[in-house]
Amino acid sequence: MYDVTIIGAGVVGASIARELSRYMLKTLVLEKNIEVCQGTTKANSAIVHGGYDAYEGSLKAKLNVWGNKLYSQLTEELEVSFDRIGSLVVAFNEEEMKELEVLYKRGLNNQVEGLELVDGDRARELEPNLSKEVIGALYCSSAGIVCPFNMTFALIENAIENNVELKTSEKVESIEKLDEGFKITTSKSEYKTKYIVNAAGLYSDKIANLIGDNEFEILPRKGEYRILDRNAGDNVTKVIFQAPTKVGKGILVAPTVHGNIIVGPTADNVDSVEDTTTSSSGIEKVDELSRKSIPNLPLNQSIRVFAGVRASSDKKDFVIYPSKNAKGFINVGGIDSPGLASSPAIAKYVAKLLNEQGLELEENPSFNPKRKAILGFEHMSLEEKKEILKQNPKYSKIICRCESITEGEIIEAIKRPAGARTLDGVKRRVRPGSGRCQGGFCAPRVMEILSRELNIPIEELVKENHGSALVDSKIKGGDR
């Protein structure tokens, strides 16, 4: 019998797992995919929003501002790159300036730190490549950027190191209410648990339906993006938004913690939560509107386009509440933007709800909040490189030329708690395949390392998830 079972291992589920590992609990995380971080978390804007956009009194407002404040200490403990670079919401006319004044007042009511309305000249001092057509901006110095992949991996690693259990490739098929707790049946096994947290992202409404909850519906919204080469990284230094619309925060241009530029997203309602297709019309919209903000943006240095699906709900707010049908079941649904920014606060809020439902939260005296990051060879000093090569000669072999990723880093990504099991899993942890050639050179070599370290045939490796095989069969007479 587990104390708590969390369904879903995106950044929200991982945050909750890590938060519950502070207490003397037997906690289980169930994930239907091969690895963690394979849903909405794998494809979003990577922004830690300030909190001025969410309406006063909403859960989004409360948890965004709270979560933002938690990020500095949390990322320091987990050794995750986080840069509080600030954001600008830009206006091109007086009508949009009125919208910025609304956002400014809302931000003050939400107790957002570092808010300032500035004119066009001041905006261009803060971001020199801004369009000359910008007449003003809302500046938020507390906004930042983070890698959602590394954030999720760090959270789940730290949770596992503090005795949380993770089981992947286990799709939840049914949930039965027992006299004490629940019985969860997955595609592989059965589990009994006293409490359940439904953090299933795009499928959170379907999981809620399993215990008779029909209070919210996920309305998937697709966003298309473009990623620019690191050579283009100096073109922007802050997160640049345009005045928001009814469907989102508009097209943004922002640096990433890895030195690239991310541009997007669109905001299109789609029928399927799995619709991550890109379109020429969507990318053309991204290009046109991004250049409105940054006219000289070198879109010809694009290295990838992709799409993600947001778990928006019909409630227009985060849907976090204890089920009325089954005591001990907590729904955590509708986590679209600003979900990444809010995730540390969502975790604490859920822990509080569980406690109110009867879960005893006795502090774990052996809880260790610290996690060591994988050492990036490219970013080491000369002395650090000499030392790591003495300890592990695998760091002498460069596998990914574009990003200067070594075999040692790839092996570490595989060997970690909740380590990489797929080609994209390695890519998201240590970035081989994230550069100009997008894996054209290094993918076969990464596959060989995965096959060797996991001791599985190369034909069984997948790019990302079930059904994405990389190799059909060996060439007759070939040894690989």
Instruction: Tell me the angle at which helices 443-454 and 407-415 cross, rounded to the nearest 10 degrees.
Output: 40
Helix (H, G, I), strand (E, B) or coil at 370: coil
How would residue 250 be classed by pLDDT, with cut points 50, 70 and 90?
confident
Mean pLDDT in residue range 141-145: 98
What pLDDT band is residue 157 in, cutting at 50, 70 and 90?
very high
Strand partners, 191: 184
Confidence label for 480 from pLDDT (cuts 50, 70 and 90): low
Active site residue 49: yes
Find where tokens 């003495």 sit. Answer: 390
Active-site pick, 49, 258, 379, 466:
49
Tell me the average pLDDT across 434-446.
Answer: 93
The rounded distance, in Å, linking the Cα atoms of 395 and 258 is 20
Say yes or no: domain 377-460 is CATH 1.20.120.
no
Question: The pTM is what?
Answer: 0.96
The model's confidence at residue 477, banded by pLDDT at 50, 70 and 90, is: low
Is residue 183 pLDDT above 60, yes or no?
A: yes
Q: Where are the domains of the chain?
A: 2-41+148-216+314-357, 87-141+219-310, 377-460
Task: Specify the fold of 87-141+219-310.
Answer: D-Amino Acid Oxidase; Chain A, domain 2 (3.30.9)
- CATH number of the structural domain 2-41+148-216+314-357: 3.50.50.60
**pLDDT score recorded for residue 245:** 67
DSSP assigned state of 396: G
Q: Alpha helices of 92-176 — where are they, by DSSP H?
A: 94-109, 120-126, 148-161
pLDDT tens sequence across 339-389: 999 999 999 999 999 999 999 999 999 999 999 999 898 889 999 999 999
Q: Does residue 246 surpass a pLDDT of 60?
A: yes
Helix (H, G, I), strand (E, B) or coil at 332: strand
Burial tier of 297 (Cβ tally within 10 Å: 0-12, 13-18, 19+): buried
DSSP letters, 155-214, are HHHHHHHTT-EEE-S--EEEEEE-SSSEEEEESS-EEEEEEEEE--GGGHHHHHHTTT--
Which of 199, 209, 216 has the alpha carbon at shortest distance from 317? 216
Q: Render pLDDT for 388-430 as a digit per residue (tens, 0 to 9).
A: 999 999 999 999 999 999 999 999 999 999 999 999 999 999 9
Mean of pLDDT values over 137-143: 98
377-460 shares the fold of 2-41+148-216+314-357 = no
The per-residue b/e assignment along 139-160, b for 16 or more CB within 10 angstroms, e otherwise, is bbbbbbbbbbbbbbbbbbbbbb
Q: Which residue has the tokens 């991204």?
A: 286
CA distance 47 to 176: 38
pLDDT of residue 247: 55
* CA pair distance 355, 379, nearest whole angstrom: 43
**From CA 98, how far away is CA 293, in angstroms rounded?**
18
3-state helix, strand, coil in the chain (%, to 5): 35, 20, 40
Instruction: With a cut of 70, say whether residue 96 has pLDDT above it.
Output: yes
State residue 466's pLDDT score. Answer: 86
Q: What tens digit of pLDDT does each residue of 279-337 get?
A: 999 999 999 999 999 999 999 999 999 999 999 999 999 999 999 999 999 999 999 99
